[in-house]
Amino acid sequence: MDMDRVMALKIIKNVEKYREAAKLEINALEKIAEKDPEGRNLCVKMLDWFDYRGHMCLAFEMLGLSVFDFLKDNNYQPYPLEAVRHIAYQMCYSVKFLHDNKLTHTDLKPENILFVDSDFEIMYSSKKVRPQES
């Protein structure tokens, strides 16, 4: 793993049911990486994973805001219709790739749909890492 690279870290609590769910997620993410190593199908890229004192830790490429956070940060102003069409097309494209590879996204919601980039700064939160507002 390239330690000079900025990445997002998802830490799963050391609770057996969460650890088991994390193992399933890791298997799915590894299959995505195997089937789409260049990321052409717009799925998140897991860089690596490790176990730290029983906590499952997944390292991901750093992405931008979620569809939900962007909406919230803009006082819930609706997205323009063309943006909605573009987001919907990309979601369908990604979900079709998952379906074609016998994978199912079990938690598809605005909080889990991320833009490729947005301006962000590194910060720490015990609950969630988000870009700082300017």
| Residues catalogued as catalytic | 107
Return the bridge partners of 7, or none: 61
For residue 46, what are the β-bridge partners? 60
Calpha distance 70→73 (Å, rounded)? 5
Q: Which helix (H) or strand (E) holds 47?
A: strand 46-52
Distance CA 98, CA 41 (A): 9
